[in-house]
Amino acid sequence: MPPPGVTVAIEIDAATVRRGDQVMIGGQAFTVHDLTAVQRGGKRLHFATGETFTMQRTTVLWASRRVDPRLPRPRHW
């Protein structure tokens, strides 16, 4: 059973990527299983299928992320 919430599309970079995010790379969907920090602010993404992808600090991707709309969100003023 999937976790509660809704799936939303968000823009991510190396600083905001999370475990469980689903990213599209080369027309194929991958689910982030684990993350490793690399030099200069990058992240190496380890996918559930065994592949890896290195995001540089400036890499921007679109991802699907499950969020629970019932949880309070911090306000950005």
pLDDT at 19: 95
Q: Which residues contact 72 (CB under 8 A, 6 or more apart)?
A: none
Q: Give the CATH number of the domain where residue 42 resides.
A: 2.30.30
Any domain includes 62: no
- What's the token pair of residue 32? 């982030």
Neighbours of 57 (CB within 10 A): 13
pLDDT at 69: 77
Any domain includes 72: no
Any domain includes 64: no
Record the pTM. 0.80
The segments of the chain whose pLDDT lies below 50 read none
- What's the token pair of residue 30? 């991958």
pLDDT at 10: 93
Number of domains into which the chain is organized: 1
pLDDT at 5: 81
pLDDT at 3: 63
pLDDT at 33: 96
pLDDT at 77: 63
Q: Which domain holds residue 52?
A: 6-57
